Amino acid sequence: MATDHQNPASKQQQSGSSAFKHLSEVTGTVPLETRGVGDFLSPLLQLIVYEQENFQGRCHELTGPCNNLQEAGVEKVGSILVLCGPWVGYEQPGCKGEQYVFEKGEYPRWDSWTNSRRSDSIFALRPIAVDSQEHKIVLYESPSFAGKKIEIVDDDVPSFHAHGYHEKVSSARVQSGTWVGYQYPGYRGYQYLFEKGEYKDNCDFGAQQAQIQSVRRVRDMQWHQRGAFHPAV
């Protein structure tokens, strides 16, 4: 359900870009000929990075955040297998730059996790915090939660224009759930991750411009029995 309102909210809390809770990290290199996709069944292994497309070449196992994949021995990210998610990848070390959201599933090459066409590089990965089964987000036209707003509850919205919202998105409040916003309608363009918390301006959610035109819930198998989101081909 998406609704459009005029009155801005006034209460401000701590920014939602707070530090993520630390998880243990396991990084290993295993030749492809000794392990296939079906062999990674341990509950301790959540995400597998392959250095070549289509799950070929050397692979590296992650069960927690990695701020610099190259320092962990990953030369290049060619494909990704997510066994337990969700995760977010970053274009630059230190969890900076363009963002890529990964839910449980297979990502055989770079254009299966982004359509922005700007970069095919991933230098950092971390698990995404999923706090509840419920989802509610409020997106505001102006920084510091001012101006027109659109409120979305337990729904995916492929086009804000279809709901009568034609404004910028400069700040946001995530009251529950985890979301990913997109630069363009139809879940296209740059991705912006919204975990529970507050984002006072577009820099807080990693956007150079205050432009978001579609948003959807990030899926987690703990809460969503039907599994991850699958975009239309």
Residue 182 — very low, low, confident or very high, per pLDDT cuts 50/70/90?
very high
pLDDT exceeds 70 at position 222: no
pLDDT tens by residue, 199-219: 999 999 999 999 999 999 997
Lowest-confidence segment of 114-123, 138-147, 189-198, 216-225 by average pLDDT: 216-225
Instruction: Please name the residue that has the structure tokens 């492809």.
Output: 32
Q: What is the mean pLDDT of residues 114-139?
A: 87
Q: What is the mean pLDDT of residues 154-175?
A: 93
Q: What is the mean pLDDT of residues 147-175?
A: 93
Q: What is the mean pLDDT of residues 146-172?
A: 93
Instruction: Please name the residue that has the structure tokens 């998406």.
Output: 2
Q: What is the mean pLDDT of residues 47-74?
A: 94
Q: Which residue has the higher pLDDT, 154 or 226?
A: 154
Lowest-confidence segment of 23-37, 124-138, 157-171 by average pLDDT: 23-37
pLDDT tens by residue, 8-45: 233 333 333 222 222 233 333 333 233 344 443 334 45
